[in-house]
Chain A
Amino acid sequence: MTAAAEILLPLNPGIWLIVGALIAVLLPQTLSRWFAVILPVFLIAFLFSLNFDNYGAISFLNYNLETFRLDSLSRIFGLIFLIASALGNLYALGDDVNKLQCSAALAYAGGTIAAVFAGDMITLFIFFEIATIASVFLIWARRTERAFTAGMRYLIFQIGAGVILLAGLLVHVSATGSIDFDKIGLDASGGILILTAFGIKSAFPLVHNWLQDAYPEATISGTVILSGFTTKLAIYALARSYAGTEILIWIGAVMAVFPIFYAIIENDLRRVLTYSLNVQLGFMVVGIGIGTEIALNGAVSHAVVHILYKALLLMSMGAVLLRTGTCNASELGGLVKTMPWTAAFCIVGAISASAFPLFSGFISKSMIITAAGEQGYWIIWLILLFASAGVLYHSGIRIPYFAFFSEDKGHDAKEAPRPMLLAMCIAAFLCVIIGVFPALLYTMLPFPVDYDPYTVYHVINQLQLLMFAALAFTVLKLINIYPSDIQGTNLDTDWFYRKGLMALIIFSNRHINTGCRVVCDSAVGIISKIINSLKLLGNNDGILSRTPALGSSIAWISSLLLLVLLLRFA
């Protein structure tokens, strides 16, 4: 009994959420939705009541699993995931979600949080996969053909990454004998496989497109919830196991640049935000790659504030989609008149994302850029500055401008439902409060923070960068160079499997068919020739169908007998 109590009581909060997901299915609809909001809030209090320790150790197949490791790195991620879960589920109250979606959202958050608190790789793997399976239901809940196929592609990527993770884990465990989930590094056995798995899940360049493909196809609240978890869990896992791996700096830099261009030409504003999400993941990956204390603090704090402002921006775009039925920049505009509160919250999110002083992005992103500068990575430093100016473009200006301020397209929209406004209000409040009082976040980071974002030079330099980028936008807009919003699909790496692979399949199918036909035809030809010649032997004039005379037969047999006797006794 005591052993059971020891295992169960300080249970991983993620497991409580998964249990909650099962309960949510049994509750009546309305109760289930509120339950999904309250449970994460309750678990935040639970999390703060515990000290840093390893809880929930159990023995499994001769391995000691640490199902609940609470330290400074896992606590900050667990906390922000719980906040994101509560806010997402609050927002979902305005989206009329059914309880199955509520349950999926809880299980998804639960799997992610349980994986964050996992002290060993087996527990990590199991909960990572639970989160993956639960998340796809947030996409399929849209119940459209597009959502279904996008969900399938998403699942192929995610499960694929899971299989690679499992393979890496097996190689690693069999070589080292340890299942502990700590520093791995590229040189460890299985290290490359595990990095690849985390890389797919954190949308590394070329394996990023599941993100932009699937997230905007999810339900209105589903996209908000999805944006917070999977990729940031992968960032957590990278920070835990690959801090200071230099190649990540360069991968992150590429990640921080190329999606910006897509974010500028993409028409679907929720998809714009997923490209922008990819850029911010790039910042975090650079921070992890640099691996100094300030860089890791920067990566972790940026993950935290990014979850908040990205959710806020996606919430505002979700409200627009709910009220107008579209999220295409070319079909939107002038909504500030009818959705002023949504517009105001969206602007707070946009300013936070752009990292203006007094808003949350400012106090986190700059730590990563400073770390790059301190370590002398001048190319990386320039790339990150460029990406910062780029973020102002697509998240800071483009999103609010095209939805709320550009030419009125005459949508008869209402303001967003109250629960959505409340969720946006809380997210906006958190963005501002973290921006104004960065110490609130800094004290919870994995390393002690010796960094002050509010120095005169930093504030002025950041404002110079951003305002002159804004000036460039204004000038380009005034002289009509800024690309107008037109409907269309932009090709990304998904082309290779959606069109390229399809073409390859059709091509090979056709050629295999032709090949088969040639082989079959010639085989049939040969066989029929054999049959024909056999027929010739056996038909009326054939040698086999002649009727020879009895006497000549006896002569043949006697001579054969003679031959045999001769051979035997010679």
Chain B
Amino acid sequence: MENKVQEDYKVKDELHWFDNKRNIRRIIYTIYAICAVLFLAEFFYHKHAFFSFDTWFSFYAIYGFIMSVGLVIGAKVIRIFLMRREHYYDSSS
């Protein structure tokens, strides 16, 4: 990918690999595919559990997804309370 990037750089105004919507879609589909494979991988290995709940089916995948969504929504809510203008502190001094 790096070589590709460099080739593109030679002609500056040329459309970059990442500018192409189709390539972005490809990346997104790759993520979907990897996730599907990892989800199904649950059937094929022996789990090493510390507790009881981490033996649940695809615990790590589901926990990772749910907590990430929660994290982003939580951050959006926190931002309402915490965000001030860019030079909030500068004006006072």
Instruction: Give A contacts to B, CB under 8 Å.
Output: 146, 149, 260-261, 264-265, 334, 336-338, 340-341, 343-344, 373-374, 376, 378, 381-382, 385-386, 389-390, 393, 405, 408, 455-458, 460-474, 476, 478, 481-483, 486-492, 498-499, 502
Contacts and interface: CB of A to CB of B under 8 A. Distances in A.
Contacts of B72: 264, 393, 472-473, 476, 481-483
With most chain A CB atoms within 10 A of its CB, the pick from B6, B41, B50, B58 is B50
Chain A interface SS verdict (over half): helix
Given A265-B75, A389-B67, A488-B86, A499 B92 contact: yes
Nearest to A456: B45
Contacts of B6: 340
A265 B78 contact: yes
B73 to A, nearest CB: 7
Interface string B1-20: 01001101100100010110
A342 to B, nearest CB: 11
A494 B85 CA distance: 15
Interface in B46-84: 46-48, 50-51, 53, 58, 60-65, 67-69, 71-76, 78-79, 81-84
Interface of B: 2, 5-6, 8-9, 12, 16, 18-19, 28, 31-32, 34-35, 38-39, 41, 45-48, 50-51, 53, 58, 60-65, 67-69, 71-76, 78-79, 81-90, 92-93
A465 B35 CA distance: 10
Contacts of B87: 489
A460 B32 contact: no
B47 A468 contact: no
Contacts of A490: 79, 82-84
A261 B74 contact: yes
B48 A389 contact: no
Given A382-B63, A468-B61, A488-B83, 7 more contacts: A264-B72, A376-B50, A386-B67, A389-B68, A464-B38, A472-B65, A491-B81
A261 B67 CA distance: 12
Contacts of A489: 83-89
Contacts of A337: 5, 8-9, 12, 16, 18
B62 A146 contact: no
A412 to B, nearest CB: 9
Contact of B64 (A149, A456, A465): A465
A336 B7 CA distance: 12
Given A336-B18, A337-B16, A340-B2, A464 B61 contact: yes
Contacts of B38: 460, 463-464, 467-468
A340 B5 contact: yes
A38 B88 CA distance: 43
Contact of A149 (B74, B82, B83, B93): B93
Contact of B79 (A265, A381, A473, A474): A265
Contact of A470 (B19, B31, B45, B73): B31
Nearest to A340: B5
A87 B52 CA distance: 45
A23 to B, nearest CB: 38
Nearest to B46: A457
A341 B56 CA distance: 42
A336 B5 contact: yes
A265 B6 CA distance: 32
A344 to B, nearest CB: 5
